[in-house]
Amino acid sequence: MRKRFKKWVMGRTDVMDRILDDASEIYDQPRETIKKQRMELVREMEERPGYERTLETEQKGFYLIYHIVAVISCILLIGVLLYTVAMLPRYGEENVRADEVVERYVERGLEETGAVNIVSGMILDYRAFDTLGESHVLFTALICVMILLRVDHKNMRSEYEDYYTVLSDRYYSLERDTIIRTMGKILLPCIFVYGIYILLNGQNSPGGGFSGGAVMGTGLIITAAAFGFDRVDSFLPLRVSMWMTFLSLMFYSFAKGYVFFTGANGLENHIPKGVPGAILSGGLILPLDIAVGLVVAGTMFGFYSLIRRGNIGGA
């Protein structure tokens, strides 16, 4: 038992080794034969006796009940929620009964955090723990997509998935479109400068970590679409991209993860707060902003790259 457990932990057992599929056999065949084989497989499944019958009888009775129940539940849901909306307080008036937290955040926010933008100061100083959890959600989503979509020999060994097709449609290159390339040359410096500006001025004006990171991620996507993936690989290979995302997340975790042990408010900041309105102000808010922005940018580009070609960087 222990030997099997150890083998599983070290990654030496193969979950799909009973579905045998020799990759080299499929890879060498021409594309037409493979297509024909695939169509035949699907047709075989359909022509089996009893297939039509199971489809029909399962679905007919089921649909009637399903539609009736769905209509009733939709009407009930909207009705109950609209009735609740009618009992809410008036729209646009302040809530006099739940004022203590807002009072503390607005009136003493500037002197305690040093941030002029109250929302930024709130999510990175008073409630920094929520942002920590949210960055972890982003990173976990990137890992999940990588598990599902990455093209390598462990992921593509079943008799229904077409190894050759998947391997050959990795690079759908845009046909070197003139419009995208010219507009890319004009717009891309502006986009990156704008993204860095939003990121660095998170505490003085609207913006912050998420917005700046999203704009920079979109800039990277446009670079990959306009100039091809080879250009992006030359300055952002796999190792740099993943280390950047991982190190930012680790920095944020170590900076604000000790609240597990000391309670909700954490320790006191010894970093000087500076003059409100300057870039270097706000204590720990500026480094945390940069960390969150890098995590978001790396994740957005990683999603796009995994869907387009099956891996983040490199060959």
Among positions 41-60, residues that touch other proteins (CB under 8 A) are 42-43, 45-46, 48, 51, 54-55, 58-59
* Bridge partner list, 276: 278
Under rule CB under 8 A, which residues in 106-125 are in contact with other proteins?
Answer: 106-110, 116-120, 122-123
Q: Choose, by CB under 8 A, the member of 16, 23, 68, 74 that binds other proteins.
A: 74
The yes or no reply on residue 293 touching other proteins (CB under 8 A) is no
CB of 227 closer than 8 Å to CB of 184: yes
> Considering only 231-239, 258-266, 282-290, 306-314, which stretch makes contact with other proteins by CB under 8 A?
306-314
Distance, in Å, from the CA atom of 226 to the CA atom of 183, rounded to the nearest integer, reads: 9
CB of 215 closer than 8 Å to CB of 198: yes
Distance, in Å, from the CA atom of 274 to the CA atom of 114, rounded to the nearest integer, reads: 7
DSSP string, 19-60: S---HHHHHTS-HHHHHHHHHHHHHHHHHSTTHHHHHHHHHH
Binding-residue pattern over the window 130 to 169 for other proteins, x denoting contact by CB under 8 A: xx--x--xx--x--xx--xx--------x-xxx---x--x
Shortest Å, Cβ 115 to other proteins: 9
Q: Choose, by CB under 8 A, the member of 16, 101, 183, 193 that binds other proteins.
A: 101
Shortest Å, Cβ 92 to other proteins: 4
Residue 51 to residues 38, 56, 58: CA-CA distances in angstroms? 19, 9, 11
CB of 300 closer than 8 Å to CB of 220: yes
Shortest Å, Cβ 24 to other proteins: 20
Residue 221: half-sphere exposure toward Cβ, Cα within 13 Å: 19
Under rule CB under 8 A, which residues in 217-256 are in contact with other proteins?
Answer: 217-218, 221
Under rule CB under 8 A, which residues in 180-219 are in contact with other proteins?
Answer: 198, 205-208, 210-211, 214-215, 217-218
Shortest Å, Cβ 270 to other proteins: 24
Output 175 or 261, the one with its CB closest to other proteins. 175
The yes or no reply on residue 312 touching other proteins (CB under 8 A) is no
Output 166 or 238, the one with its CB closest to other proteins. 166
Residue 37 to residues 32, 47, 161, 198: CA-CA distances in angstroms? 9, 15, 11, 53
Q: Choose, by CB under 8 A, the member of 14, 22, 25, 103 that binds other proteins.
A: 103
Distance, in Å, from the CA atom of 215 to the CA atom of 233, rounded to the nearest integer, reads: 20
Output 8 or 62, the one with its CB closest to other proteins. 62
Q: Choose, by CB under 8 A, the member of 23, 77, 190, 240 that binds other proteins.
A: 77
Which residue from 285, 290, 295 is spatially nearest to 119, judged by alpha carbons? 285
Instruction: Calculate ∠ Cα 136-121-190, nearest 5°.
Output: 75
The yes or no reply on residue 87 touching other proteins (CB under 8 A) is yes
